[in-house]
Chain A
């Protein structure tokens, strides 16, 4: 399995996700059809997960080096979070937003194929590599689903049919995502000390990672302090995801970030 098989994987995953999502959304009661829809969603997610595992074996290194490789994990975790949240809370918004997001990032990957390479530069040959990036990708997925839930909430807020449950679920996801974000940031600091000599050097990636952490921190504290001010909370949450996306994918477009040591792909 390598990148040459990727289009097939995209097709299978996309078809199972889309058909599963439509089935789940169309049948709100727990009937056979809805269970089949859930099965389809799980199947599509497993296919993508299996591809990632096969790629790991084929490349003989964690497939976490390039932007394309981490985006695979992002799609996988987005679908996983959407599914897990849906099975736990029966909240339709989660798969309705999470699965299309997962599909979007999968299609971005399809549109930007990369050359698979078994090479891994010495700086990335560390036991910290996989934990640091995987924890970050799962955290990004949790925060991504919660923030898109916030965008939906804002839309409904403007239509005066806002549901407080939206923020309840968003909060749960943010707490999970934020704790993992903290772990990822600290793993990065501990790894940086082993690899680069210092735990914090204000490298552009580190700076934007800290900024992402701070904006979600502001959200958590604002929710604690003024839980009834839902409009402001939603806006903070929606804004935080923009910062997250800049940190994850936008650095190469920033002139101030050209000299980051975090640029690993050619």
Chain B
């Protein structure tokens, strides 16, 4: 039973009814006026201020829980405040509809746009589904997804063929050999490992000779290995004046090996910091109805299928580049078109305000 649709529709009908038949009543005149607007926005702003300061972790005990302060978004004051804004905003829109001129277009876009966003965002939140799917490389197709409470079956199946993680070149830093704190030199804490790069440090100069993004150790040093295996490694030479103070390999660590560091002296060592991800993506196959289609899922590039949107959420960060796990989020938001309509009205209204805001203000100068 779509209670939220019934509630929303009834609310709109109530506002229209009040506007049409009771617009001269003192209560309706006040609620559709600017003072009510200011007080409703202020009440909402006060609650948002509390949201901004108080950590929101519902504990079901203590004064913070009783007053709703630790779960503000689902508390009665918050709900009442939203109804207050929607009432005031709705009535002022209806009042202005009586004078539909070009000048009021901007007013209408801004106010009605905001009304749509607040109303549909609030009403739609109960229909919003955000589910998580854990896919492992090579495992069979699955359509099982879950949120924190329930498990669901999606109307399509997914299989992870490969999870790919590309990294930026790691950073080289000088560190204290006892505390492992990075020692900055003239506000420079590290340099990226790129062949030929030099890093002046006190009376030394570090030079990067070779960089291997995928390497494993051998008795003579590090050797390159196929992608997905190994660790980033780097051969460096440290000069003092024109003589060599130290030379050798440094490497990042992973689950099966410790990082390789190069000691410079008793107190200073040189290390390779863990690289940062540049890009990660899941190579998927999706069974939708009777078709099997390949797909690539990446951050900022969601896949839309059967009314759902799939997002690349995460992976096994302990494994890093070797992760066999890809965590995918499936989102279903049936009210999204309504929210987007409101958002685009607000965008247009903002542009209107930018170009013509001054014009309106000139009429109220001094």
Contact = CB atoms under 8 A, between A and B. Distances in A.
Interface of A: 3, 113, 115, 117-119, 121-123, 125-126, 164, 168, 171-172, 175-176, 178-180, 182-183, 186, 189-190, 193-200, 202, 204, 207-208, 210-211, 214-215, 217-218, 221-222, 224-225, 227, 246, 254-257
A224 B357 contact: no
Chain B interface residue number, banded: 35 or more
Contacts of A199: 339, 343
B45 A115 contact: no
Contacts of A115: 187-190
Nearest to B167: A119
The secondary-structure label for the interface of chain A is: helix
Nearest to B189: A115
Contact of B52 (A186, A222, A254): A254
A119 B188 contact: no
A135 B45 CA distance: 23
Nearest to A259: B55
Contacts of A207: 48, 51-52
Contact of B192 (A118, A121, A215): A118
B300 A195 contact: yes
Contacts of B176: none
Interface of B: 34-35, 37-38, 41-42, 44-45, 48-49, 51-56, 73, 121, 128, 130, 168, 187-190, 192, 276-280, 298-302, 309, 311, 313, 329, 331, 333, 336, 339, 343, 346-347, 349-351, 353-354, 357-358, 361, 364-366
A108 to B, nearest CB: 15
A255 B54 CA distance: 9
Nearest to A135: B350
Nearest to A225: B34
Contacts of A190: 343
Given A199-B339, A200-B121, A256 B52 contact: yes
Interface centre among B55, B300, B336 (most CB of A within 10 A): B300
Contacts of A176: 354, 357-358
Contacts of B313: 197
A211 B46 CA distance: 9
Nearest to B165: A122
A123 B313 CA distance: 10
Given A179-B354, A198-B331, A198-B333, A204 B52 contact: yes
Contact of B38 (A200, A204, A222): A222
A122 B299 contact: yes
